[in-house]
Chains A and B, each alone.
Chain A
Amino acid sequence: MSSLLSMKMYADQARTLVLIVLAIILGACADSRLNNPYPQEEGDQAVLYESFSERPKHLDPAVAYSSNEYAFIAQIYEPPFQYHYLKRPYELTPLTATGMPEIEYLNARGDKLASTANDSDIAYTDYIIEIQPGIRYQPHPVLAKNAQGDYLYHHLTAAQIDQLGTLQDLPESGSRELVAEDYVYQIKRLAHPKIQSPIAEMMKNYIVGFDEFSKQVADKQKFEIKDIPMEGVTALDRYQYRIRIKGKYPQFKFWLAMPFFAPMPWEADVFYEQPGLDDKNITLDWYPIGTGPYFLAENNPNRRMILLKNPLFHLETYPSEGEPGDKEKGLLADAGKPLPFIDKVVYMLEKETIPYWNKFLQGYYDASGIASDNFDQAIQFTGSGAATLTEAMREKGIQLETAVTTSIFYLGFNMLDATVGGDSEKARKLRQAIAIAVDYEEYIAIFANGRGVAAQGLIPPGIYGYAEGKDGVNPYVYDWKDGKAQRKSIEVARRLMAEAGYPGGIDSKTQQALILYFDTTSVSIDDRPRMNWYRKQFEKLGIKLVIRGTDYNRFQQKMRAGNAQIFFWGWNADYPDPENFFFLLYGPNAKVAHGGENAGNYQNPEFDRLFEQMRNMENGEQRYEIIQQLQELVRRDAPWVFGFHPKSFSLYHGWYKNLKPNLMANNQLKYTRIDTTARAEKRAAWNKPVFWPLLLAIVVFMLLLIPAVLAYRRRVRETIQ
């Protein structure tokens, strides 16, 4: 009987199995995309799918300073200025301001000076900014008022707070007009020690009264600063405010295009300071409030973030002029139409590159960078060395956008080090030899798949002062041959080594091979080939390179203490001005002595003098000349091996429109558009599931069961007998 029972069990199992398979197949017919990673249907909304790999830590514009944070807050917050989306070289245009700031120079007594005044006479500069009237904040509970005009949620009870899960649990929302006072308030926030703005220390040197204000409010609540004046920053009327900075600092206008200087309603701090809210993760860091084209509708940094179109967004239209050629590319087709075009943006957390890339190919992400490992699949080089998409990518209708980034990666020498550092001829020759030996063209080819340009000096192309062609070549490392920069042969480097007292890499004093130390934070397995490569480069000169891999902390500590010898670091420009690069080698910025950004502790009085001169100049012939002199100085002294300027390659699906790489602006999202019908068609075509191996596996499994069942029945019969 029991055997019968179990046979029935088998039959039952088989039946359920068949049912399940049927269900899967039927389900598949209904929706041919089994592998769709998004649950909800989009309806007729234009939804863009993006990814983020690291959860943003702060969405407070006074604190956020990394690109992954800017990806969000630049869409939400609006500083007074922005970079023009299409024009090159980069150009500032008003965003919420009515025009470019009015600049006035003052002397030490506070008298106005002419705009042609001498640099030495200028004690202060005033920036007067007028904003457009009628701009409104996104609907937000912070601004919700009741019928009497009192703020609804500024005095929540403990019980109310206890019931909150997210900010969306507060039903009412409100809005109000943006006023100049909000911009002033935000600058005061930058100064508040509790907010810990990363640029506070820097702004102390520029904005008048910033430091004093910071000390004055150290023990005040955040919102209390509203009524405490800061000397250098005042609202002149409802729509106009003035920032007074020390001396002359023409680059200050670039800061005004960064989210640090976006407006913040004082109500936000009053609301978020209520005790108990931060236990619920309801803070300004997680629930921003801005005037931008989008607002953050869902914030789950553990999984996804959703931006929705701000219904109260002020009128801004797509730019109607651009670079020559933009019209042909169709970039001006939407000129004059109101922004933004996309209704909703979904950012998914995606840490691993493999799933990310595969999902992009399946059409579930609209854009993707290119990892070194799938580069071959996407890109090929034409005869002239230009990068194009491979056949397979073109068939999918994918577009490629490339741009040389405004950043530099370099191999720095610690100039305080006894061997490689210092101003001696011996050390300089050693550094120059290394600069020749470390072949960054090869590095770019191997590790970046050609996505980079070997650096000839400090400033990348696209920044003022960059010299093209023969004039821009580093003559200590390259020769100009046949219209191309060609790296000097290794023999030249070996000669330099011998002149420096290390013939063949052997220290003539100790008769031992020269050992140099390379400090790096690259300790993971993926970095091993890279480290081997560096070893090989130094090996060419007979130098033994010892890699000292540590975590980022140790590395920082070493750099601070000046214990590193050779290190690899990078710099990404804050704003498109050469000053932002040359200050990395400015003596008073030395890391060990002054804790600044001059990590190699390079000191050269001549350089410092020229730099101080160049810093405050307006772009022009004279400035260009000084920049060339600065370049020559650092090429000769070689405190860095100028590595390379990476080139960013991004892939976009064909349905993603209005794309133009803009390395300065972070708020491109509002300009872009997607064609949802084309996307739906492509997705359906690319994601037909393959069932037969599954069915085959089930059949094979069944076949395997047959002998087992037979043997079992035989056995049962035996036992019973």
Chain B
Amino acid sequence: MIQYIIRRVLYAFPLLMGVNILTFVLFFIVNSPDDMARMQLGQKHVTEQAVENWKQQRGYDLPLLWNSKAEGKEKLTQTIFYQKSAGLFLFRFGISDSDRRNIAADIQQRMWPSLAVALPTLIVGLLVNITFALIMVLFRNSYLEHAGVVLCVILMSVSSLFYIIGGQFLIGKLLRLVPISGYEGGFSALKFLILPVLIGVFSAIGANVRWYRTLFLEEVEKDYVRTARAKGLSETRTLFRHVLKNAMLPILTGVVVVLPTLFMGSLIMESFFSIPGLGSYTIDAINSQDFAIVRAMVFLGSVLYVIGLLLTDISYTLVDPRVRLS
């Protein structure tokens, strides 16, 4: 097991390297460091000297991938690519291009609001979805189930943008029950989070309930459930004791995969509700073409994804002893 984990961690390196190269190439195919400098320096009174200074200060005055002027090993290391990527593997994200803030400090600060939205959304969503799916399975082959399935499909067919716009309009503007947008640390975050969480849960309800329902149905049709029922075990009992327990495996592993990436936040939700999380951080960086932040966020995203995969594998072995990691 430990050997397996070590191997997976080692495997992550070429993966992250690939991610890094890809981001680098994608970004610099279209942008030269000169472009970045001009973009960040704004409109008024920009001279060549200012551009050179900007590049020099942020280390963009080197060649991109290969430094033919340098000697020996430095041919590789004295390049933008090496200088900018090497630090990432040690989680040194450096400073942002636009306002020269320390990226790591910003990420540390902004990851909590992201988590504060994403985690409740996940947990509440899970509870609500499982409850509804169970209810539907409980009433299978009745009008309740059919109505439920149709409702799910209808909910699925509405774009999440409608939920957000509608929710803000109705609850924030017409009913005045919660602040329209904003965020606050600590306990007072509650009133800012109710609406985004509610909308987050609601917009995913259709797809998830349907999926959980099929999982439960598959389990219900299995022989051991029939046997249990034949033994005279009550409906609820079989449902909770056997069906739920066994169907939880795919549900939980699905959750484990996304768990680390919760830190990254939701792009749309955060910018609509002006929550100062990592999602809005990323959007801002894309819009202002801040390569340093984009690079850091891509790297972070990939690392978290890899961790997610690893956690899934581990959770499989924990839940189901038959699975062996090799």
Who on chain A is nearest to B277 by CB?
Answer: A302
B325 at the interface (CB under 8 A from A): no
Known: A285-B100, A354-B168; 10 extra A-B contacts, CB below 8 A, are A34-B191, A35-B191, A37-B180, A201-B45, A364-B179, A551-B289, A553-B35, A553-B39, A690-B176, A708-B139
6 closest A-B pairs (Cβ-Cβ)? A57-B99, A37-B179, A355-B181, A302-B276, A39-B188, A553-B35
Binds A, one of B5-13, B75-83, B234-242: B234-242
Query: CA separation between A589 and B178, bound complex, in Å?
Result: 54
Query: CA separation between A150 and B284, bound complex, in Å?
Result: 43
Across-interface contacts of A201 in B (CB, < 8 A): 45, 47, 49-50
Per-residue CB proximity of A19-43 to B under 8 Å, as 1/0? 0000000000000001111010000
B272 at the interface (CB under 8 A from A): yes
Across-interface contacts of A196 in B (CB, < 8 A): 50, 53-54, 57
A221 at the interface (CB under 8 A from B): no
Binds B, one of A129-137, A275-283, A466-474, A504-512: A275-283
B223 at the interface (CB under 8 A from A): no
Q: Establish whether residues A556 and B179, one from each chain, have CB atoms under 8 Å apart when the complex forms.
A: no
Binds B, one of A168-176, A345-353, A658-666: A345-353
Contact of B274 among A352, A693, A694 (CB under 8 A): A352
Residues of A within 8 A of B (CB): 2-3, 6, 34-37, 39, 55-58, 65-66, 193-194, 196, 198-202, 278-281, 283, 285-286, 300-303, 348-352, 354-355, 358-359, 362, 364, 551-554, 556-557, 595, 597, 687-691, 693-694, 707-708, 711-712, 715-716, 719-720
Q: Establish whether residues A693 and B139, one from each chain, have CB atoms under 8 Å apart when the complex forms.
A: no
Residues of B within 8 A of A (CB): 31, 35-36, 38-39, 41-42, 44-50, 53-54, 57, 95, 98-102, 104-106, 109-110, 135, 138-139, 142, 144, 168, 172-184, 188, 191-192, 229, 232, 234-237, 271-274, 276, 280-281, 289
Across-interface contacts of B99 in A (CB, < 8 A): 55-58, 285, 301
Q: Establish whether residues A2 and B183, one from each chain, have CB atoms under 8 Å apart when the complex forms.
A: no
Across-interface contacts of B175 in A (CB, < 8 A): 689-691, 693-694
Across-interface contacts of A279 in B (CB, < 8 A): 102, 104-105
Q: Establish whether residues B135 and A597, one from each chain, have CB atoms under 8 Å apart when the complex forms.
A: no
Query: CA separation between A6 and B138, bound complex, in Å?
Result: 13
Query: CA separation between A58 and B54, bound complex, in Å?
Result: 14
Pairs across A and B, CB under 8 Å, 19 listed: A34-B177, A55-B99, A66-B42, A193-B53, A196-B50, A196-B57, A198-B44, A198-B46, A278-B100, A278-B102, A286-B101, A302-B106, A359-B180, A551-B289, A597-B44, A689-B175, A693-B175, A694-B175, A711-B139
Across-interface contacts of B168 in A (CB, < 8 A): 354-355
Instruction: Count A-B pairs with CB separation below 8 Å.
Output: 164
Contact flag A708-B289 (CB < 8 Å), given A350-B274, A351-B271: no
Query: CA separation between A36 and B184, bound complex, in Å?
Result: 11
Q: Establish whether residues A352 and B271, one from each chain, have CB atoms under 8 Å apart when the complex forms.
A: yes
Across-interface contacts of B98 in A (CB, < 8 A): 57
Q: Establish whether residues B172 and A351, one from each chain, have CB atoms under 8 Å apart when the complex forms.
A: no
B274 CB to nearest A CB, Å: 6
Contact flag A358-B172 (CB < 8 Å), given A34-B191, A35-B180, A595-B48: yes
Contact flag A3-B236 (CB < 8 Å), given A36-B179, A556-B39, A693-B175: yes
Contact of B102 among A200, A280, A597 (CB under 8 A): A280
A44 CB to nearest B CB, Å: 21
Who on chain B is nearest to A203 by CB?
Answer: B45
Q: Establish whether residues B102 and A281, one from each chain, have CB atoms under 8 Å apart when the complex forms.
A: yes
Across-interface contacts of A362 in B (CB, < 8 A): 176, 180
Contact of A202 among B45, B106, B138, B188 (CB under 8 A): B45
B148 CB to nearest A CB, Å: 10
Across-interface contacts of B48 in A (CB, < 8 A): 595
B85 CB to nearest A CB, Å: 19
Across-interface contacts of A3 in B (CB, < 8 A): 234, 236
Contact flag A351-B101 (CB < 8 Å), given A193-B53, A302-B109, A711-B142: no
Query: CA separation between A716 and B139, bound complex, in Å?
Result: 11
Q: Establish whether residues A35 and B42, one from each chain, have CB atoms under 8 Å apart when the complex forms.
A: no
A262 CB to nearest B CB, Å: 18
Query: CA separation between A437 and B188, bound complex, in Å?
Result: 56
Contact flag A2-B236 (CB < 8 Å), given A198-B41, A595-B47, A595-B48: yes
Who on chain A is nearest to B170 by CB?
Answer: A693
Q: Establish whether residues B184 and A553, one from each chain, have CB atoms under 8 Å apart when the complex forms.
A: no
Q: Establish whether residues B272 and A352, one from each chain, have CB atoms under 8 Å apart when the complex forms.
A: yes
Q: Establish whether residues A552 and B39, one from each chain, have CB atoms under 8 Å apart when the complex forms.
A: yes
Contact flag A65-B144 (CB < 8 Å), given A35-B172, A285-B100, A553-B35: no
Q: Establish whether residues B177 and A690, one from each chain, have CB atoms under 8 Å apart when the complex forms.
A: yes
Across-interface contacts of A351 in B (CB, < 8 A): 271, 274, 280
Query: CA separation between A712 and B31, bound complex, in Å?
Result: 63
Contact of A689 among B38, B42, B177 (CB under 8 A): B177
Q: Establish whether residues B235 and A719, one from each chain, have CB atoms under 8 Å apart when the complex forms.
A: yes
